[in-house]
Chains A and B, each alone.
Chain A
Amino acid sequence: MNGRALSWHRLVLFGALGLFALVFLTPLYVMVSTSLKSMDEIREGTLLALPASPSLAAWIKAWSEACTGTDCGGLRPFFLNSVMMVVPAVAVSTLLGSLNGYVLSKWKFRGSELMFAMILFGVFMPMQVVLLPMSQVLGWLGLASSVWGLVLVHVLAGIPSTTLFFRNYYVGLPDELLKAAMLDGAGFWQIFWRIVLPLSTPILVVTLIWQFTQIWNDFLYGVVFSGADSKPITVGLNNLANTSSTVKEYNVDMAAAMIAALPTLFVYIVAGKYFVRGLTAGAVKG
């Protein structure tokens, strides 16, 4: 490889990489710039034009005044529903996943491998299969159309992936560590709290981020199981963007989309490394 050919190659390489970056960033740019424009400016200008006088009016409207269906209280109530749903659902599903993973890797019993395989199918199965029966179950439990019903569904739907994450991570912890602790008289819980959990920080972060992103971004359960007062942000955004009013306010739509996207985007930017690890772990390869 001589220098000149190399630099020519590099130029094409960087050109292609830059072009891809542009393709991926443009929709985000369009969303942000549209959300800062007025409707007049949107009508006169083009998709890519910078906002002439950026204003947060569309953001304020999307947050507190925009109409979703017949309701005109903006996205705020939906956002709060999502927060109230995400916190307990992420915490419980992560905790259960961690316990399951601990048992499935370090305290195997007869049939535990088969059970793991059968639970693993829950990662992939099309959730359409559970929608109809689950709405009946939630009705029986008195949780229909409530945030707690959504929490329950998200916990149940999340257990397969959280179990997979922790199990694959704990398999890598050396057994000698546990054996030594056992010789010292430590039992099941002491080993978990004193040894395993302190070593779990990376996988804990991966799982928390994964579950947070999944549950925050979920639409299917949100649209099927929520009632008038418990709709999550994704449902709010969809209703807002599909409300047929006389004038389509694209700036408000884009501001609303950004509001719905910001929490997960923030987590991605702060802890992208862990997010990617969760994604690749989701492809079973542990």
Chain B
Amino acid sequence: MSTAAPALRTSWLPRLVVAPSFVLSFLFIYGLMAWNGYLSVSASRLLPNYEFAGLAQYQTLWDSERWWVALKNLGIFGGLFIGGAMALGLLMAILLDQKVRAEGLLRTIYLYPMALSFIVTGTAWKWILNPGLGLEHLVQSWGFKDFEFGWLVDPDMAIFCVVIAGVWQSAGFVMALFLAGLRGIDESIVKAAQVDGASLPRIYWRILVPSLRPVFFSTLMVVSHLAVKSFDLVMALTAGGPGYATDLPATFMYTMAFSRGQIGLGAASATMMLATVAAIVVPYLYSELRAKR
């Protein structure tokens, strides 16, 4: 559908109206991006120092054990968070799609965590998972005296606490996207399959889920860029600890840039995050916008 080709006498006006916010947006997005890129090849430490230092900051970054910990955590967290939220969300969407009476209420319940700040979620789960008075104490009071649950303070396990809280917060969101997708599928396809005697699980597995492919991709995209950007949840739940065992790239960047006085290193890690997100998002945006034409 083409748009109105409006009278030419006012053709300067629309441009003038959007100019300020477009210019500011471009400066904000691309100007600052370039500036950050420049910081990442500068010798900046405690203060910005625009002396060119080549790739020294990147060298330091990739030699840093802490950065590798952050990347490994992103792998663990990203994989389990994306997989968990997608699987749980799809399951809930399919279950809710069965013409359930209280659907509206259930949907509201599944989705409310999305309205909360990750800081709230993190604070709540920190209390629930705390060894001592939390979950451990509860299960012990049920008679399992030897039950121990110290993941939150265990450097090897703490990242899984972040996964639990993250999936809890985001599964409802995935559910909403999938449910909208399922509702968009032509019901006559399902009817025809039923006439052919296909069972309900079979209909879902062979017909409905495959036709969710576009929704699947956009959901995967949204959830994975959330994973790369994850910051608040870790800060509230573990603050990157114990030690730096639950550092993610976002918390690494924050620590280096704003509390360790390593501005150049922080900028280099931010650039790496940008490259990762761009690799996921740009092909997606490209295909989305092309499809719309």
Contact, CB under 8 Å: A250 / B270: no
Contact, CB under 8 Å: A124 / B114: no
- Residues in A with CB closer than 8 Å to B282 are 121
- Residues in A with CB closer than 8 Å to B126 are 241
Interface positions of A from 75 to 97, Cβ below 8 Å from B: 96
- Return the CB mask of A1-44 against B: 1 if under 8 Å, else 0: 00000000000011011001101110110110010000000110
Contact, CB under 8 Å: A117 / B127: no
A167 to chain B: closest CB distance in Å? 11
Q: Considering the chains assembled together, what is the distance between the CA atoms of A188 and B18 in angstroms?
A: 13
A150 to chain B: closest CB distance in Å? 14
B7 within 8 A of A: yes
A199 within 8 A of B: no
Contact, CB under 8 Å: B29 / A224: no
A24 to chain B: closest CB distance in Å? 5
Contact, CB under 8 Å: B138 / A48: yes
- Residues in B with CB closer than 8 Å to A285 are 215, 218, 288
| A17-B106, A188-B13, A188-B14 known; A99+B133 contact, CB < 8 A | no
Say whether chain B's binding surface is mostly helix, strand, loop, or mixed. Answer: helix
Q: Considering the chains assembled together, what is the distance between the CA atoms of A130 and B29 in angstroms?
A: 7
Residue on A with the closest CB to B4? Answer: A175
Interface positions of A from 146 to 185, Cβ below 8 Å from B: 156-157, 159-160, 175, 178-179, 182
Which of A96, A115, A128, A134 counts the most chain B CB atoms within 10 A?
A128
- Residues in B with CB closer than 8 Å to A108 are 3
B53 within 8 A of A: no
- Return the CB mask of A248-283 against B: 1 if under 8 Å, else 0: 001001101100110011011100100110011011
Q: Considering the chains assembled together, what is the distance between the CA atoms of A97 and B235 in angstroms?
A: 31
B257 within 8 A of A: yes
Contact among A13, A16, A223, A237 with B120 in the assembled complex (CB-CB below 8 Å): A237
Q: Considering the chains assembled together, what is the distance between the CA atoms of A218 and B229 in angstroms?
A: 13
Contact among A24, A128, A134 with B109 in the assembled complex (CB-CB below 8 Å): A24
Q: How extensive is the interface on chain B, given as a class?
A: 35 or more
Contact among A179, A219, A269, A276 with B119 in the assembled complex (CB-CB below 8 Å): A219
Interface positions of B from 226 to 284, Cβ below 8 Å from A: 228-229, 231-232, 235-236, 239, 249-250, 253-254, 257-258, 263, 266-267, 269-271, 273-274, 276-278, 281-282, 284
B92 within 8 A of A: yes
Contact, CB under 8 Å: A129 / B254: no
Q: Considering the chains assembled together, what is the distance between the CA atoms of A190 and B260 in angstroms?
A: 54
Which of A132, A157, A187 counts the most chain B CB atoms within 10 A?
A132
Contact, CB under 8 Å: B28 / A156: yes
A47 within 8 A of B: yes
Contact, CB under 8 Å: B218 / A121: no
Contact, CB under 8 Å: B14 / A279: no
Contact, CB under 8 Å: B6 / A24: no
Contact, CB under 8 Å: B21 / A100: yes
A220 within 8 A of B: yes
Contact, CB under 8 Å: B36 / A133: yes
Q: Considering the chains assembled together, what is the distance between the CA atoms of A268 and B28 in angstroms?
A: 30
Contact among A31, A127, A131, A242 with B239 in the assembled complex (CB-CB below 8 Å): A242
Contact, CB under 8 Å: B100 / A13: yes
Contact among A30, A34, A234, A276 with B117 in the assembled complex (CB-CB below 8 Å): A234
The chain A residues found within 8 Å of chain B, CB to CB, are 13-14, 16-17, 20-21, 23-25, 27-28, 30-31, 34, 42-43, 46-48, 96, 99-100, 103-109, 113, 115, 117-122, 124-134, 136-137, 156-157, 159-160, 175, 178-179, 182, 187-188, 213, 216-220, 223-224, 234, 237-238, 241-242, 250, 253-254, 256-257, 260-261, 264-265, 267-269, 272, 275-276, 279-280, 282-285
What would 11 more interface pairs be, CB under 8 Å, given A129-B271, A234-B120?
A23-B168, A24-B110, A118-B30, A121-B29, A128-B269, A178-B4, A219-B235, A223-B254, A237-B120, A237-B123, A269-B112
In the A-B complex, the 7 residue pairs with the closest CB atoms: A217-B117, A107-B14, A268-B115, A133-B35, A128-B270, A219-B232, A130-B32
Can you list 22 contacts pairing A with B, beta carbon distance less than 8 Å?
A: A20-B92, A20-B95, A27-B121, A28-B112, A48-B138, A99-B21, A100-B21, A103-B15, A106-B6, A119-B26, A120-B285, A125-B274, A128-B270, A131-B253, A156-B25, A159-B25, A175-B3, A187-B13, A218-B117, A264-B116, A279-B176, A283-B219
